[in-house]
Amino acid sequence: MRTHETLNVSGQPLKVSHPDKVYWPDENITKADLIRYYHSVYRHIIRYLRDRPQSLRRNPNGIQDEGFFQKDAGPAAPDWVATKKIRAESVNKNIEYILCNDKATLTYLNNLGCIELNPWNSRVGTLDNPDYLVIDIDPSDENTFDQVVEVALAVKEVCDTAGAAAYCKTSGATGLHVYLPFHAVYTYEQCRTFAELIAHLTQEALPATTTVERSLYKRNGRIYIDYLQNKKGQTLASAYSLRPRPGATVSAPLRWDEVKKGLDPNAFNIQSMAGRIEKYGDLFHGVLTKKTNLEKCLKKLDAKAG
């Protein structure tokens, strides 16, 4: 097993430690395979990473290692890695977040054991104004994925009524994520309030299988419609991000006509994504290019309720 390999990534020499270390034992997928995957999707994933503070989830020994979270770049970060100091009131100090703005930085994060990439919803120039709103559809062990699909479609129906564009991706685990583009026009509080309204309207449509109850013990085996991801500093796995889970699954953007009974989230993985992207391109691009008029959406929902 090689102890290291030096890669030239966009003109930046980068030492990768233990490239043959197996990260997914059942599939015999290595750290080097991880890096190759991210290089293959770089052109698309960088759109969802650039200028966004990263909360690093590190699994340096692969998916069988519980891993840990790291927010501060730390003194070991190379000087060519872009960072942003942000005041964290909860700990009363500045945290120097890494910004993944280029392929070399992405490879550096992969070398740290970042199987998963977790960017903020907002960028450094507009930290208090997210680019999108997120509805995280989070099932319990008692739910089927077909039920998760049903919830996603109910969320879309609410969004359609409001006249808001919505984009869906797999979580890379057991859930689905629905994003609404907001183009950094509104505050986190405004987006979270609208997300709460969407969640409650969805829950009203599917009362037997869904809940907006945050407490795990009060959900009673129902699917949690999580609108609380819409806070400054909250993160979810990026579109095209691998997840440290069996099967090397990916958080994959979907066409809405794919979101139907029988959808298999495990079909989107490190082996299948290159072909999928070649066929469909970036299905998530509207999240960063479309705009949502919140005032008009609220008026349409009020009119529907009335």
- Where along the chain do its domains lie? 4-119, 132-305
* pTM attached to this predicted model: 0.96
Determine which helix (DSSP H) or strand (DSSP E) holds 93, and give its type and residue range: strand 93-99
Instruction: Report the sign of the C-alpha dihedral through residues 142, 251, 80, 20, in that order.
Output: positive
Backbone angles phi and psi of 99, in degrees to 5:
-110, 120
Mean pLDDT score across all residues of the chain:
96
Task: Work out the pLDDT band at 149, boundaries 50, 70, 90.
Answer: very high
Beta bridge partners of 133: 180
Edge-to-edge strand list for the sheet holding 132-138: 210-211, 223-226, 132-138, 176-181, 167-170, 253-254
CATH architecture of 4-119: Alpha-Beta Complex (3.90)
| Nearest of 41, 75, 25, 50 to residue 276 by alpha carbon | 41
Domains 4-119 and 132-305 share a fold: yes
**CATH match for 132-305 among 3.30.450.40, 3.90.920.10, 3.90.470.20, 3.40.1160.10:** 3.90.920.10
Give the C-alpha separation, 292 to 187, whole Å.
13
CA angle 96, 99, 104 (to 5 degrees): 125
Under DSSP, the state recorded for 148 is H
Q: Which residues of 85-107 are buried (b: 16+ CB within 10 A; e: fewer)?
A: ebeeeeeeeebebbbbbbbbbbb
Task: Work out the pLDDT band at 304, boundaries 50, 70, 90.
Answer: confident
Give the C-alpha separation, 251 to 253, whole Å.
7
Whether residue 257 is predicted with pLDDT greater than 90 in this model: the reply is yes
Backbone angles phi and psi of 303, in degrees to 5:
-65, -40
Q: Give me Rg for the CA atoms of the chain.
A: 19
Task: Work out the pLDDT band at 44, boundaries 50, 70, 90.
Answer: very high
Q: Tokens 């449509």 label which residue?
A: 205
Asked if residue 6 lies in contact with residue 20, where contact means CB atoms within 8 angstroms, the answer is no
Paired tokens of 247: 């099967």
Average pLDDT over residues 189-206: 98
Task: Work out the pLDDT band at 306, boundaries 50, 70, 90.
Answer: low
Three-state SS sequence of 211-244: ECCCCHHHCCCCEEEECCCCCCCCCCCCCCCECC
Runs of H (alpha helix) within 163-285: 188-205, 273-280
Task: Work out the pLDDT band at 3, boundaries 50, 70, 90.
Answer: confident
Give the C-alpha separation, 298 to 304, whole Å.
10
Q: Which amino acid is at 256?
A: W
Average pLDDT over residues 53-68: 95
